[in-house]
Amino acid sequence: MAERITLLEEKRIVLGVTGSIAAYKAADLASKLVQAGAYVDVIMTEAAQRFVSALTFQAVTGRPVYTDMWRTGMDGSLPTHIAHIGLAEGAHLLVIAPATAHHMAKLAAGMADDLLCVTALGVRCPIIIAPAMDGDMYEHPATAENMRRLKDMGAILVEPEIGRMASGMVGRGRLPEVLSLLGTIRQVLGREWGPLTERHIVVTAGGTREALDPVRFVSNRSSGKQGYAVAQAAVDAGASVTLITTTTGLPIPAGVRPVYVESAQEMHEAVLEALEEADALIMAAAVADFRPAEIAEQKIKKTAKTLSVELVRTTDILASVGKRRAETGMPHVIVGFAAETQDLVRNARFKLEKKGVDFIIANDITAEGAGFGGDTNVVTILSADGSVVSLPQQTKIAVAEAIIQRIAARLMTVPRRGE
Ligand code: CTP
């Protein structure tokens, strides 16, 4: 599903397309970027036009496509390479996808014989290069050397994927899927423009699983969607993100380091370890409050008519981090969630104070459009300074952005590590 992406709104992206069969994927990328809210100017090399027509890109971007460095305007205006120096000047990002071995060689050598090369020499914004070619070409020392030079010059090289190529051979050289490219674009733009650059944020997500025996566990209805949205919003804001997650089946956003856990205890250990270097913790996970007192070594057989399981309390991770902060001052910001079915604000306020956190994101999981599984949420944000803000029903992505904005505002006055 195409979505608006706050970070991409009104960003000017120049998309350079070179002559690879993967050029058709670039049309999809252009389309997704436009739907996300970006302005996309496409430059196609001559070889690229043999695979996909300029009209395709014109149709998806709704803008002219640049193909010829020497063409003058209909009115006899300046040739494209001069008139569109503006392309380079106004760009927030140059993405070259797919990038052929040939074009990377030209770029690495600083050549300027086509519009894409001229533009690459002119931009001051970040450059993402996504190579696509046959496996042998990708592994050739000449290509490797050119990529190393491009990296040394500051370009961000996207590693191609392993898979079947147009030649029918299997190897490394496939252009990554469009959503993965989009993820890299978000990461790079976030770092360039976001308020959380050089910050490290730890997010937890999903419902923990407390084992009963080797095949069964006790868990809850958490889908992990809200936590994953928070992780993505933190990447969009420029942070490096550790996502401590149970199995949710959701894709890990580009730029996020996942740590997979099962139980509350494993999550607790992972949180403590990740917090060593973190500025903020957001506990979006639905952590089990109780776990079976004992885990049966063998599968429990249905020999008896009834089965009673004794449950014991797990450690409250949020409260333990709050307590630790009271002693060490770290992490700077702690955010918890409160899933309630009654007395929302009163219960949430109690949790905020008892656990020693800065914000509680309270949601009435019985409300329409809120809670587990869905794509929307209805939350009230309580802050340790006493403020209570009720947000209208909105997407979990928008809720995530509201949380990240508050964290960014808090961290504004806190020096970064090493500052
Ligand atoms: N939490 C935690 N460790 C636990 C239980 C909860 O860190 N063992 C965190 C959750 O991730 C959430 C917050 O505490 O950010 C509140 O969770 P919630 O289930 O709403 O509240 P509880 O403290 O478990 O209280 P209760 O279940 O009695 O409402």
Three-state secondary structure call for residue 245: strand
Q: Is residue 364 part of a domain?
A: yes
* Mean pLDDT of all residues in 224-245: 98
What is residue 92's predicted lDDT score, i.e. its pLDDT? 97
* Mean pLDDT of all residues in 315-343: 96
The total number of structural domains that make up the chain: 2
What is the residue-averaged pLDDT of the chain? 94
Examine the domain organization and report whether 135 and 254 are in the same domain. no
- Two structure tokens written together for 210: 């407390």
Instruction: Return d(Cα 322, Cα 352) in angstroms, integer.
Output: 10
Residue pLDDT, tens place only, 258-303: 999 999 999 999 999 999 989 999 999 999 999 999 999 999 999 9
How sure is the predictor about 403, in pLDDT bands with cuts at 50, 70 and 90? very high
Query: Which residues 6+ apart lie within 8 Å of 316 measured at CB?
Result: 287, 289, 355
How sure is the predictor about 74, in pLDDT bands with cuts at 50, 70 and 90? low
Residue 313 alpha carbon, nearest atom of ligand 1: 8
Q: Is 220 a catalytic residue?
A: yes
Examine the domain organization and report whether 181 and 60 are in the same domain. yes
Q: Is residue 151 part of a domain?
A: yes
Residue pLDDT, tens place only, 100-133: 999 999 999 999 999 999 999 999 999 999 999 9
What is residue 73's predicted lDDT score, i.e. its pLDDT? 62
Q: What are phi and psi for residue 307, nearest 5 degrees?
A: -135, 125
Residue 264 alpha carbon, nearest atom of ligand 1: 8
What is residue 3's predicted lDDT score, i.e. its pLDDT? 83
Cβ–Cβ under 8 Å, residues 42 and 115:
no
Return the best residue to mutate from 337, 347, 364, 380 for the ligand 1 pocket (most ligand atoms within 8 A of CB).
337
What is residue 394's predicted lDDT score, i.e. its pLDDT? 95
Residue pLDDT, tens place only, 131-161: 999 999 999 999 999 999 999 999 999 999 9
Alpha helices in 153-213, H assignment, sequence order: 178-193
- Compute, in degrees rounded to 10, the torsion defined by CA atoms 237, 243, 246, 248: 30
Residue pLDDT, tens place only, 32-57: 999 999 999 999 999 999 999 999 99
Examine the domain organization and report whether 153 and 201 are in the same domain. no
Examine the domain organization and report whether 215 and 164 are in the same domain. no
Residue 417: is its pLDDT beyond 90? no
Examine the domain organization and report whether 74 and 173 are in the same domain. yes
Examine the domain organization and report whether 167 and 290 are in the same domain. no
Peptide bond into 251 cis (omega under 30): no
Residue 253: is its pLDDT beyond 90? yes
Instruction: Return d(Cα 120, Cα 130) in angstroms, integer.
Output: 14
Q: Is residue 399 part of a domain?
A: yes
Examine the domain organization and report whether 140 and 243 are in the same domain. no
Cβ–Cβ under 8 Å, residues 225 and 187:
no
Q: Is residue 417 part of a domain?
A: no
Query: Which residues 6+ apart lie within 8 Å of 215 measured at CB?
Result: 299
Examine the domain organization and report whether 182 and 206 are in the same domain. no
Instruction: Return d(Cα 269, Cα 280) in angstroms, integer.
Output: 16
Examine the domain organization and report whether 260 and 179 are in the same domain. no
Q: Is 318 in the pocket of ligand 1 (CB under 6 A)?
A: yes
Pairing verdict, β 311-313 and 333-340: unpaired
Three-state secondary structure call for residue 172: strand
Q: Is residue 418 part of a domain?
A: no
Last residue of a domain, one of 153, 170, 187: 187
Instruction: Return d(Cα 151, Cα 157) in angstroms, integer.
Output: 7
Examine the domain organization and report whether 236 and 332 are in the same domain. yes
Residue 79: is its pLDDT beyond 80? no
Percent with pLDDT over 70 in the chain: 97
Examine the domain organization and report whether 171 and 207 are in the same domain. no
Q: Is 336 in the pocket of ligand 1 (CB under 6 A)?
A: yes
Cβ–Cβ under 8 Å, residues 120 and 16:
yes
- Two structure tokens written together for 123: 């931009």
Examine the domain organization and report whether 116 and 157 are in the same domain. yes
Residue 318 alpha carbon, nearest atom of ligand 1: 7
- Two structure tokens written together for 360: 């509680």
Last residue of a domain, one of 187, 212, 244: 187
Q: Is residue 416 part of a domain?
A: no
Order of strands across the sheet that contains 12-17: 65-66, 39-44, 12-17, 93-99, 127-131, 156-157
Q: Is 352 in the pocket of ligand 1 (CB under 6 A)?
A: no
CATH at residue 98: 3.40.50.1950
Q: Is residue 415 part of a domain?
A: no
CA–CA–CA angle 107, 118, 137 (5° rounding): 25
Identified catalytic residue from 146, 220, 347, 377: 220
Last residue of a domain, one of 187, 206, 240: 187
Domain encompassing residue 366: 195-410
What is residue 78's predicted lDDT score, i.e. its pLDDT? 66
Q: Is residue 331 part of a domain?
A: yes
- Compute, in degrees rounded to 10, the torsion defined by CA atoms 131, 136, 142, 144: 50
CATH at residue 355: 3.40.50.10300
396 CA from centroid of ligand 1 (Å): 19
* Mean pLDDT of all residues in 374-385: 95
